[in-house]
């Protein structure tokens, strides 16, 4: 099955995943100008009225850039919507996305309701839903989503426990549509590997944390550069959902990363967790690919590097 039209003219088969706090207008604009999908969580725009402002500014900036560079590949904007009862902004944020005809919506946690799907489809937008299990994938497809984001073991932030080989392989047994894969993808050859195992696109998050345009402080950037896969802790303590976090930030919060209690998954939250530390701000999300991140380039330089690595990997495997 061919990709939706909005995903067919990218410089690389990559979606920059939406990251709480870190994904702001500067990062998204840079990703889109580099020819990949740039995304951000709607909840990053605070207060709620700021979402309208962000989308207006981003669309104007990207339109101006395309006019100045008519032959450049400019990636589309995607907005992440948290479909959960704790998100009292969902209806407002979807309305703003419909107003701006945002081409890609990334839904998370629960399958999007019919009214949300109908609103996005009304102007030709598509909905990609992130999942960590076969059951979640099946439920999302029943809801009519246009593609799946498979969040496999090793992905930064909220992540599942399954190997990408198992997750992609099982989903491909019953689904031939668009799949993006997430899970410690930090190099161009890993993008090609994702395609080789059956995904259409790579869904990359943590690599953008250590770029000049990410909306994080210097301590967070440096912690990414200094860390390896052994410095990633998988826990549900901070939001009620299992995710991967940098050990250094857990230690800085006064906690023992080797002896963290389990949180009550029925008390899901996106602010201060059971520890009192605030997820994403105090407790830093990151994936197991951090050991491959040794510098802090611009987004444009990073995409150029990924492109070179991707093409080199293709040449190595050419028969």
Q: Which helix (H) or strand (E) holds 62?
A: helix 50-68
Sign of the Cα torsion 28, 29, 30, 32 reads: positive
> How are strands ordered across the β-sheet holding 243-246?
157-158, 243-246, 232-235
Tokens of 23: 């994904």
Task: Measure the CA–CA gap between 153 and 175, rounded to whole angstroms.
Answer: 20
C-alpha closest to that of 233 among 216, 220, 253, 247: 247
Position 319 confidence tier, pLDDT thresholds 50, 70, 90: very low
Average pLDDT estimate for 262-268: 64
**pLDDT of 274 above 60:** no
Q: Could you read off the pLDDT of 11-66 as tens digits, one per residue?
A: 999 999 999 999 999 999 999 999 999 999 999 999 999 999 999 999 999 999 99
Q: Could you read off the pLDDT of 145-204 as tens digits, one per residue?
A: 999 999 999 999 889 999 999 999 999 999 999 999 999 999 999 999 999 999 999 999
Average pLDDT estimate for 215-227: 95
Q: Could you read off the pLDDT of 53-104 as tens digits, one per residue?
A: 999 999 999 999 999 999 999 999 999 999 998 899 999 999 999 999 999 9
Position 1 confidence tier, pLDDT thresholds 50, 70, 90: low
138 by Cβ neighbours in 10 Å (0-12 / 13-18 / 19+) ranks as middle
CATH superfamily of 5-216+296-317: Aldolase class I (3.20.20.70)
- Beta partners for 147? 128, 178
pLDDT for 31: 98
- Beta partners for 108? 82
Q: For the chain, count helices (H), then strands (E).
A: 11, 11
Report helix, strand or coil for 310.
Answer: helix
Average pLDDT estimate for 238-266: 87
User: What does pLDDT average to over the chain?
Assistant: 93
Q: What b/e sequence results for 185-209 when a residue is b if at least 16 CB atoms lie within 10 Å of its CB, and e otherwise? A: bbbbbbbbbbbeebbbbbbbbbbbb
**pLDDT of 258 above 50:** yes
Sign of the Cα torsion 141, 143, 145, 150 reads: negative
pLDDT for 268: 52
pLDDT for 267: 55
Sign of the Cα torsion 86, 87, 88, 90 reads: negative
pLDDT for 166: 96
For the chain, residues classed under CATH 3.20.20.70 are 5-216+296-317
């Amino acid at each position: 099955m061919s990709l939706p039209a909005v995903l067919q003219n990218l410089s690389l088969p990559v979606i920059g995943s939406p990251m709480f706090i870190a994904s702001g207008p500067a990062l998204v604009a840079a990703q889109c100008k580099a020819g990949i999908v740039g995304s951000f969580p709607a909840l990053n725009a605070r207060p709620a009225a700021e979402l309208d402002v962000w989308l207006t500014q981003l669309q104007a900036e990207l339109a101006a850039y395309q006019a100045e560079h008519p032959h450049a590949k400019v990636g589309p904007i995607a907005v992440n919507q948290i479909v959960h009862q704790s998100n009292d902004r969902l209806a407002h944020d979807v309305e703003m996305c419909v107003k701006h005809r945002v081409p890609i919506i990334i839904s998370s946690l629960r399958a999007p309701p019919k009214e949300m799907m109908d609103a996005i489809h009304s102007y030709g937008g598509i909905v990609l839903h992130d999942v960590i299990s076969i059951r979640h994938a099946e439920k999302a497809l029943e809801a009519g989503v246009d593609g799946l984001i498979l969040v496999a073991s090793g992905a930064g932030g909220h992540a599942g426990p399954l190997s990408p080989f198992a997750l992609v392989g099982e989903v491909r047994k019953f689904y031939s549509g668009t799949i993006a894969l997430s899970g410690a993808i930090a190099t161009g050859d890993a993008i090609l590997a994702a395609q080789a195992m059956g995904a259409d696109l790579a869904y990359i998050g943590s690599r953008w944390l250590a770029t000049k345009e990410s909306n994080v402080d210097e301590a967070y950037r440096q912690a990414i550069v200094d860390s390896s896969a052994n410095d990633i802790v998988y826990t549900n303590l901070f939001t009620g959902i299992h995710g991967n976090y940098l050990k250094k930030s857990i230690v800085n919060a006064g906690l023992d990363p080797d002896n963290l209690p389990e949180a009550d998954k029925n008390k899901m939250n996106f602010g201060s967790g059971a520890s009192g530390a605030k997820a994403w701000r105090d407790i830093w999300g990151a994936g197991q690919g951090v050991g491959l991140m040794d510098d802090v380039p611009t987004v444009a330089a990073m995409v150029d590097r990924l492109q070179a690595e991707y093409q080199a990997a293709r040449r190595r495997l050419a028969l």
